[in-house]
Structures are given as C-alpha cells and as structure tokens.
Amino acid sequence: MFKIKNLSVHIGKRTILNDVSLEAKPKEITGLIGKSGSGKSTLFRLALGLLPKSDGYEWNGEIEWKGEMLGNQHCPKIQPVFQDPFGSFSPYNIIGELLLEPLKVQKQLVLNQEMIDKENTRIGNLCHRFELPVSLLKNTKQELSGGQLQRFAILRALLMNPEYLLLDEPVTALDVLVQKKIAEELKEINQKDSLGMLIVSHDLGFLSYMCDQIFVLEEGSITEFGNPKQLLKHPQSKLLQELVFARNHSFGGVTSSSESSN
Ligand SMILES: Nc1ncnc2c1ncn2[C@@H]1O[C@H](COP(=O)(O)OP(=O)(O)OP(=O)(O)O)[C@@H](O)[C@H]1O
C-alpha cells in the first residue's frame, strides 16, 4: 500500500499541505487532481525525498510504501516520471548512455561489459514494446520528439525494476494524439506488469480514463475521493463541480482525447 497519513507541509508561516491522508492500492492507478498551486508537486517531491528541510520546508505526518517510511530519502522501489520530457535528459550524451545513468548511481559503480550487455538487451526489449526504433538510442535529446522522450523517460523508470511509479503530469507537455498513445501504454504497463501508479495531474479527462480512484486536492487539503464514475456523476467538491461543468460546456461538449477513448 502507498499511504500518506496526516501529512502537513509548511514553509515559514505558510501552510502548503494540511493534514493530507490517502491510501493507494499497490497494483492500482490512483490519481491526485488539483488546480495549479494546490500542493500537488510539493507532495510529489516529498514522496521522492526531494523536499529538504534545509530549504526551509517543515513537515510532519507519514508517507510510506509497504510499511517503509518515505520522505527523507529517495527509495529506488518508487520511480518518478516528470512532466517535462525535455528537462528529464541531459543534452550532452546520447539517450542509450543516459538510460544507464540511474543504474550506475544505484549500484554506485562503473558497469562492466557483461552488465552493460544485459541492460542493453533489456533496453532493446523495452524499445520494441514502446515501438521506439533502437536507432534512436544513438541520438541526443535534441534529435527526438517530446513523445519519444517521454516514452524513454518511462522506459528509464521501468529499467530500475520499480514496485510503484509516481508520475507528475506525464502527458501535459505533449500533443493530444501522443497523449492518448502514452495513456494507453501506461494502462498496458499497469495491467500486464501489475505495476501500480500515483498520477498527479490537473486533467480530469486523463485521470478519469487512467485511474481506479481519484483524490481531489484543494488548497492543500483532500476534499473528496472515489472512483471516477462516481465522482463524475455526483461531484461534491467545488473543484470537481467546476471541472465537470467546464467539461460539459467547453468546445460544444467535446471530451479530451484520453477520455473519449474510455
Ligand atoms: N519554497 C516555497 N516558498 C513559498 N511558497 C511555496 C514554496 N514551495 C511551494 N510554495 C507554494 O505552495 C503552493 C503549492 O505549490 P505546488 O508547486 O506544490 O503546487 P502545484 O499544485 O504543484 O501547482 P502547479 O500545478 O502549478 O505545479 C503554491 O502556492 C506555491 O506558491
């Protein structure tokens, strides 16, 4: 179980998260929806051990994965995928080399040829699965599209044999057709590999397509949660009521690409 218990985060006198609790089943996809500034990224960064007290953040409460406390340091069983695929890779090396970097850091060693060959076979298999030509591994990020880079970012997370993925707006920076393809691929990873995910997003259509349950975050507090069908039918929180209204009244009622494929 991925659990957050009574989590509050402050910076100076400002409260960013206020007594947030949520429970996500390990093999399910759980969504966290909130407007800009509601505290989504703060929660995401804290779960990855990226919110240092030395930067002025004070927090109390618990984040745990299968009983193991998170929040002070990065746990390799939990792998992140970030919103901006261009920002996720260095411009100074080819993708094939960059994909091996987290493994080198994790094992704190230079990989020998046998290890590199083994990892390259895994990378080749994953490229095949994501329909990424292996020739792209010789390219730098400047030579790839946003969709290709985001697939490589997901592939890099999977190479670490994670038990759970944390995704921060994984499709927001992509065009709608690529969004749909990546949403489908993430669903397939969840179903075939039984890999659970927590997805942070402001996109109700995307989350309702992807998730088994959704939590609503408003101004640092969870105001509602449930399965997408129930939430869309009877939204209780102000944010969800606004989003459902906007969805029904924008562009003549056209739904987002991810939602329409549901
Ligand atoms: N170091 C900081 N100092 C002051 N305020 C901060 C700091 N970090 C975050 N905040 C504030 O906390 C609130 C939540 O920020 P956070 O980035 O978590 O929101 P978010 O929901 O991820 O927004 P977005 O979707 O725009 O990324 C914001 O109002 C932000 O300005």
CA of 46 to the centre of ligand 1 (A): 12
Predicted pLDDT at 258: 46
Is 41 a pocket residue for ligand 1 (Cβ < 6 Å)?
yes
Tokens of 61: 């409460």
Ligand 1 atom closest to the Cα of residue 169 is 25
Averaged pLDDT, groups of 10, the chain, 262 residues long? 94 94 96 92 87 86 87 82 87 92 75 84 90 94 91 92 93 84 91 95 92 95 95 93 82 47 41
pTM comes to 0.88
ipTM of the complex model: 0.94
Is 45 a pocket residue for ligand 1 (Cβ < 6 Å)?
no
CA distances from 87 to 24, 90, 181, 253 (A): 28, 8, 21, 34
**What is the 3-state composition of the chain as percent helix, strand, coil, each rounded to the nearest 5?**
40, 25, 30
Ligand 1 atom closest to the Cα of residue 217 is 21
Residue pLDDT, tens place only, 115-141: 888 889 999 999 988 889 999 999 999
